Amino acid sequence: MSRDWKIKTIYLAVVGALTALAAVQFYQHRHYQLPIIAGPGVTKVTNLSDYCESLRGTMADTKVFFLEGKEPGGKVLVMANTHATEIDAILAALIFIENAVVEKGTVIVIPQFNHSASRTTKPGDGYPLFFEIPTAWGSKKFRLGDRGASPLEQWPDPDVYVHYPDRQLLSFLDARNTNRTWPGRPDGPLMERVTYAAMQLLRTEQVDLAIDVHGAETMFPVTNCIVAPEKSMRLATMASLTVKAMEGFENHVEPSPQGFRGLSHREIGDFSETLPFLLEAPFPFLDQPTGPKTIDLLLTGKDSFLLSLARQKKLFVPYDETGWPVSRRVGQHCSVTLEIINQFSRKNVGRAIVISNVPRYAEIVENGVGHYYHDPRQAPKESIYQN
Amino acid sequence: MSLIMIFYHALSVFTAGLLLWNFIREKEDREKMLLYLLVLLPFILRILWIR
């Protein structure tokens, strides 16, 4: 063997080992199935592709959980993981799916709205692949996803994303962002088909309220808030004031901009009868000037750089040594969601939605998020859905 | 899968082939040898439909 081939063999062995290591980790992440336990309120589970045939058989198809009450009433859709990095959304959605009992009306939950995004990770930022929520029976393991869909499902990105139908020019990355592709179309790029399917669900099921659950940086002004268009503003304001008065946490209201297209809180309202809302809880993990993106930062929200910035009044939310723990963030989402439903039901008695057994902010802060998840080993097999 | 995705994956296979061919042909520069392989890594993951 010549000298250059000896070196090449060593290089091939080292890079081959690195490739194999990366391949195994990414493969395990992409194919890990999250067990979701359908609680006592779940009456049927369907697929999003039931509302858009061109989604069927793709990695973008996802489960839709229906919780139907005995009495007819209004309908609410709760969407989580529009951005699969913003973990509080799916954690809150699973609390609803595993615990909620609907007395009147219907609650529809899509826990992994951008399913493809939950099966990839953000390149270049050193994000963990998985995180675990401690429970009384062990821990529940989740995939940590990306903001946009995986390029394995939708590739290549355009130079500029031209929004449909307004033709507004958006960032190329937003072609894979399901909070820029509303209202979508059945024959568009895959992420437009996801939002089109959701629009069809809202129209055919005659859904009254759509709540899109997110998390936002503490340095971003649109954080710790309810984003609402004109038609949802009254309910959002009432919900915001009520949680502040009754539960003691801030959650102000931000108007949905009319000129910024593709967002759920804009297009759902403009293209259907549904009243849309987008919830943002402070999520320090997404801030840029933090230390390493560790699981600890993800779950506690504690970071010394952010603390320093808070002392210089550079953040848009209160921030101290306690950070923004996952229990507070998820607690806010549950309470605000319940309060929007409550305010709607008060104003629309004939379309009221009555839910019980979903914890509010104080209970979740006291008990922790994992307290509300059930052990898949103890659950009946027919109630477990892998997603 | 759309036609354009198939085309882009074919491009990935072609680029990976070019990198491997350059690696084989390189006789002197050890740094280049290593760089060809490191650049090849993400292409392999894309071709295998992993990342």
Mean pLDDT along residues A187-210: 98
- Per-residue pLDDT at A86: 98
Q: Which pLDDT band, with edges at 50, 70 and 90, does A249 fall under? A: very high
CB-CB under 8 Å, A12 with B4: no
Separation between Cα atoms, residue A197 and residue A213, nearest integer Å: 18
Q: What Rg value do the Cα atoms of chain A yield, rounded?
A: 21
pLDDT in tens, A171-191: 999 999 999 999 999 999 999
Q: Which pLDDT band, with edges at 50, 70 and 90, does A4 fall under? A: confident
Inter-residue contact B36 to B19 (CB < 8 Å): yes
SS3 string, A131-193, reads EEEEECCEEEEEECCCCCCCCCCCCCCCCCEECCCCCCEECHHHHHCCCCCCCCCCCCCHHHH
> How far away is chain A from the Cα of B38, in angstroms, using its nearest Cα?
7
Cβ density class A294-325: b for 16+ within 10 Å, e for less? bebbbbbbbbeebeebbeeeebbbebeeebbb
Q: Would you say residue A1 has pLDDT above 90?
A: no
Q: Which pLDDT band, with edges at 50, 70 and 90, does B1 fall under? A: confident
Residues of B in contact with A7 (CB under 8 A): 30, 33
Cα angle value B21/B26/B32 (rounded, 5°): 100
What are the Cα distances from residue A76, in Å, to A102, A105, B28? 11, 8, 67
Nearest to B44 by CA among B16, B4, B20: B16
Interface with chain A: mutation pick from B26, B35, B37, highest number of A CBs within 10 Å: B37
ipTM of the complex: 0.94
pLDDT in tens, A121-146: 998 889 999 999 999 999 999 999 99
Q: Which of residues 271-330 of A touch B (CB under 8 A)?
A: none
pLDDT in tens, A255-274: 999 999 999 999 999 999 99
Q: Would you say residue A109 has pLDDT above 90?
A: yes
Cα angle value A65/A39/A100 (rounded, 5°): 80
CB-CB under 8 Å, B51 with A26: yes
Mean pLDDT along residues A69-80: 98
Separation between Cα atoms, residue A153 and residue A189, nearest integer Å: 10
- Per-residue pLDDT at A117: 98
- Per-residue pLDDT at A100: 98
CB-CB under 8 Å, B33 with A152: no
- Per-residue pLDDT at A3: 80
> What's the mean per-residue pLDDT of chain A?
97
CB-CB under 8 Å, A155 with B34: no
DSSP A273-315: S-EEEEEEEE-GGG-SS-S---HHHHHH---HHHHHHHHTT--
- Per-residue pLDDT at A39: 98
DSSP A329-340: HHHHHHHHHHHH
pLDDT in tens, B2-49: 889 999 999 999 999 999 999 999 999 999 999 999 999 999 999 999
Q: Would you say residue A345 has pLDDT above 90?
A: yes
